[in-house]
Amino acid sequence: MQPPLLSRRRALAGGAGALAAAGALGSLSGCAAPATAAGPGQTLLRYWHLFGGGDGVNMQGMLDDFRAGHPDIALEASTLQWGAPYYTKLGMAGAGGRAPELAALHLARLAGFAPGRLLDPFDLDLLAELGVREEDFPQDIWRRGQAIGKQYAVPLDTHPFVLYYQTEVCEKAGLLSGGRLRPISGADDFADALRAARKATGQPGLVTETLGPDCITPWRLFSSFYAQSGGTVLSPDGKRLALDDSRALRVLEYLARLVEEGLMVRRVDYAGSIGVFNGGKTAFHLNGEWEITTFKTTGLPFSMTRIPALFGTAAAQADCHAFVLPHQRDRGGATNEAAHTLVAWMLKHSVAWAQGGHVPAYLPVLDDPAYLALKPQSEYRTVIDDVALDEPAWFAGSASRLWIELGAVFSGVLTGSRSPRNALTEAKARLRNLLDTRNPLPGAAS
């Protein structure tokens, strides 16, 4: 998810400190909706989420439709500040047992939320009665929502790293076939495509975020291509370092070569990378799929596809928006049923959510003609089976210390301030420090 640029930057810039400081609660008011009063015969359902910008517009429209179809549920939806502040407030609410009935959570952050203490499990029988079952989801994504034998998160979508391409530039460079980007196979083939684009325009063929105070795209680049090579950053339980030096260096050295050869813009922040691609002379842009609305609004002739398999498999770095049940001392009854009802309804109506670029996790929607008609959103839907989520650790996932700290390290490889080997050494040192640091959320395990 990509909220409005400025708010995202503020949230990420203070990520680590906001997580650790209980005093941060004073600044967590966000954009909370006014309190909703349940009328006679209604059940109050409180829902916290962190969706702003285009995501927020889509979410609000879906919630309005839910209200119209469920007059027996008084839905109070609150939009809170994205990033670390949101997670601090959610964790403290769960620790106090006075949390809302339902909340959104990035799936890769589940491990940090102490399932069983800060979160309550879903009632799978109740979800089944509402038409939502395990087999309706990609197996790996569904299982990432499990802990201690129970289901603590139900995925709404995946939001992967994708490849945007400017169709007119790619046509001029001979990179299209039938109006779509021709298949790219391997690192050398991708470099050749960038060279062809540069020859056609005189500009570097690729732009993506390479620097900034909270620059996370270099981490997403590395994570995608390193996952393609078969490597993992942490052990499967998220408790030990598993970074493979040879695989990591292969990826970092390749990225360094792209910049050194002038095939990729060297120094550009997030907003600048959007502006460069919007300028219409750069063939490719690597980013999350959430910028689809930006480029549609400007009228840029573009499309999107999965990240090519440069180092083996077709993996792409991603996270997933998911629903969770924050811990309540007296969870159950009508309010808990209402929470499950909203989850099932949102999943079944997630074509509307997909308009913002996210790939629905509820598999029946991927075959819905209304979803297939969304272009270019449906062009990269097969990535749902190949997403590379962070290993389960409290410091991983969207807006996490892992993304911020390793993004800063790998930024140096792209800007030329670090060698690939130096970056690898520093990344391993920071990962060891994170592994040795206790989870600061109240009530959470280390």
Q: Is residue 40 part of a domain?
A: yes
Predicted confidence at residue 399, as pLDDT, reads 83
pLDDT band at 443 (very low <50, low <70, confident <90, very high): low
Predicted confidence at residue 83, as pLDDT, reads 80
Q: Which residue has the higher pLDDT, 187 or 29?
A: 187
Q: Is residue 312 part of a domain?
A: yes
pLDDT band at 78 (very low <50, low <70, confident <90, very high): very high
| pLDDT tens digit sequence for 356-379 | 999 999 999 999 999 999 999 999
386, 409, 427 - which closes a domain = 386
pLDDT band at 82 (very low <50, low <70, confident <90, very high): confident
Within this chain, do residues 213 and 115 fall inside the same structural domain, yes or no?
Answer: no
- Between 3-7, 222-226, 411-415, the lowest mean confidence (pLDDT) is in 3-7
| pLDDT tens digit sequence for 300-356 | 999 999 999 999 999 999 999 999 999 999 999 999 999 999 999 999 999 999 999
Within this chain, do residues 145 and 293 fall inside the same structural domain, yes or no?
Answer: no
What six digits make up the tokens of 30? 């966000």
Rounded to the nearest 10 degrees, the angle between the axes of helix 401-415 and helix 217-228 is: 90
Residues across the chain: 446
Query: Residue 197's Cα: distance from chain center in Å?
Result: 29
| pLDDT tens digit sequence for 21-73 | 333 333 333 344 445 667 778 999 999 999 988 889 999 999 999 999 999 99
| DSSP designation for 98 | B
Within this chain, do residues 374 and 407 fall inside the same structural domain, yes or no?
Answer: no
| DSSP designation for 367 | T
Q: Is residue 442 part of a domain?
A: no
Within this chain, do residues 291 and 429 fall inside the same structural domain, yes or no?
Answer: yes
Within this chain, do residues 273 and 133 fall inside the same structural domain, yes or no?
Answer: no
| pLDDT tens digit sequence for 12-25 | 333 333 333 333 33
Report the mean per-residue pLDDT for the chain: 91
Q: Is residue 83 part of a domain?
A: yes
350, 369, 386 - which closes a domain = 386
- Between 115-119, 311-315, 399-403, the lowest mean confidence (pLDDT) is in 115-119
Within this chain, do residues 12 and 43 fall inside the same structural domain, yes or no?
Answer: yes
∠ at Cα 182 (178, 187), nearest 5°? 175
Q: Is residue 446 part of a domain?
A: no
Predicted confidence at residue 441, as pLDDT, reads 81
Predicted confidence at residue 22, as pLDDT, reads 31
Q: Is residue 130 part of a domain?
A: yes
Q: Is the pLDDT of residue 101 over 50?
A: yes
Q: In the chain, pLDDT over 90 holds for what percent of residues? A: 82
Predicted confidence at residue 35, as pLDDT, reads 58
Average pLDDT on 158-177 reads: 98
362, 386, 410 - which closes a domain = 386
Within this chain, do residues 177 and 198 fall inside the same structural domain, yes or no?
Answer: yes
CA distances from 333 to 75, 95, 116 (A): 16, 21, 19
Within this chain, do residues 324 and 378 fall inside the same structural domain, yes or no?
Answer: yes
N-to-C CA span, the chain: 27
Give the total number of structural domains in the chain. 2
Within this chain, do residues 281 and 139 fall inside the same structural domain, yes or no?
Answer: no
Predicted confidence at residue 10, as pLDDT, reads 32
Which CATH number belongs to the domain containing residue 72 in this structure? 3.40.190.10
Cβ neighbours, 10 Å, residue 29: 12
pTM above 0.85, yes or no: yes
Expressed as residue numbers, the domain containing 401 is 160-318+392-435
Within this chain, do residues 341 and 402 fall inside the same structural domain, yes or no?
Answer: no
Within this chain, do residues 288 and 425 fall inside the same structural domain, yes or no?
Answer: yes
Predicted confidence at residue 5, as pLDDT, reads 39
| pLDDT tens digit sequence for 254-278 | 999 999 999 999 999 999 999 999 9
Q: Is residue 440 part of a domain?
A: no
Within this chain, do residues 181 and 229 fall inside the same structural domain, yes or no?
Answer: yes
The neighbouring-strand residues paired with 103 are 48, 324
Q: Is the pLDDT of residue 180 over 80?
A: yes
Q: Is the pLDDT of residue 109 over 90?
A: yes
Do residues 3 and 53 make contact, with C-beta atoms less than 8 angstroms apart?
A: yes
Phi, psi of 207 (to 5 degrees): -130, 140
CA distances from 69 to 35, 64, 73, 75, 112 (A): 20, 9, 9, 12, 35
Q: Is residue 443 part of a domain?
A: no
